[in-house]
């Protein structure tokens, strides 16, 4: 996930020759990067399943919701990478800001710790507004907590709302910036 946050931000700059040298749709570049990172994620999930099985934790029926979380993750990070790469192509400082913020997102997302253990309700709700927290909790629910995604509809709603807002911001930024990007990258 952290790789997609940072590498997604640099995709248009990294593949600037596609934008400046030929007429290539800007919006497809982050999608291809998302697909490549998603394939790596699939392999890592298979390794996690094997490790769980080797240590005596057989996969349960809750593992069938894994494709749902993977689809949500792919959609969110593809939208994020298009949004952030558009802004990063206009300003290198935005890319540097994202790289600096990834550490904070990592520690606040519940990758290392379980956000459900927080007793302060307003803080818990605030952390659940982070889409990465929802995804990491979802994967944890598949393997450890054994909770279905439909048992926590508010969290799914928060995730959908935040992703929808990000999608609207991405569409707006794409319409505003797509014609200027080749000139800026030259």
Query: pLDDT tens digits, residue range 102-151?
Result: 888 778 888 888 888 888 888 888 888 889 999 999 999 999 889 999 99
Q: Is 160 a residue whose pLDDT tops 90?
A: yes
Range of the domain at 62: 2-185
| Average per-residue pLDDT for the chain | 87
130 in Cβ contact with 76 (< 8 Å): no
Which DSSP string corresponds to 61-106? GGGGGHHHHHHHHHHHHHHHHHHHHHHHHH-HHHHHHHHHHHHHHH
167 in Cβ contact with 145 (< 8 Å): no
**SS3 label, residue 55:** coil
What pLDDT does 76 receive? 94
Q: How many CA atoms, within 13 angstroms, populate the side-chain half-sphere of residue 57?
A: 13
Give the total number of structural domains in the chain: 1
Nearest to 36 by CA among 100, 92, 81: 81
Residue with tokens 């790289």: 99
Q: Is 31 a residue whose pLDDT tops 70?
A: yes
69 in Cβ contact with 145 (< 8 Å): no
Overall pTM > 0.85:
yes
Q: How many CA atoms, within 13 angstroms, populate the side-chain half-sphere of residue 79?
A: 18
């Amino acid at each position: 996930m952290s790789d997609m946050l940072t590498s997604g931000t640099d995709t248009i700059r990294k593949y600037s020759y596609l934008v400046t040298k030929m007429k290539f749709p800007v919006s497809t570049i982050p999608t291809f990067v998302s697909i490549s990172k998603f394939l790596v994620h699939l392999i890592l999930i298979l390794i996690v399943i094997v490790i769980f099985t080797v240590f005596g934790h057989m996969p349960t029926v809750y593992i069938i919701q894994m494709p749902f979380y993977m689809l949500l993750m792919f959609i969110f990070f593809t939208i994020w990478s298009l949004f952030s790469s558009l802004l990063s192509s206009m300003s290198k400082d935005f890319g540097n800001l994202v790289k600096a913020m990834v550490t904070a997102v990592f520690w606040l997302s519940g990758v290392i710790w379980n956000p459900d253990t927080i007793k302060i309700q307003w803080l818990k709700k605030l952390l659940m507004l982070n889409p990465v927290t929802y995804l990491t909790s979802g994967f944890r629910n598949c393997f450890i907590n054994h909770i279905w995604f439909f048992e926590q509809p508010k969290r799914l709603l928060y995730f959908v709302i935040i992703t929808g807002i990000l999608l609207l911001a991405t569409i707006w930024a794409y319409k505003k910036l797509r014609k200027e990007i080749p000139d800026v990258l030259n």
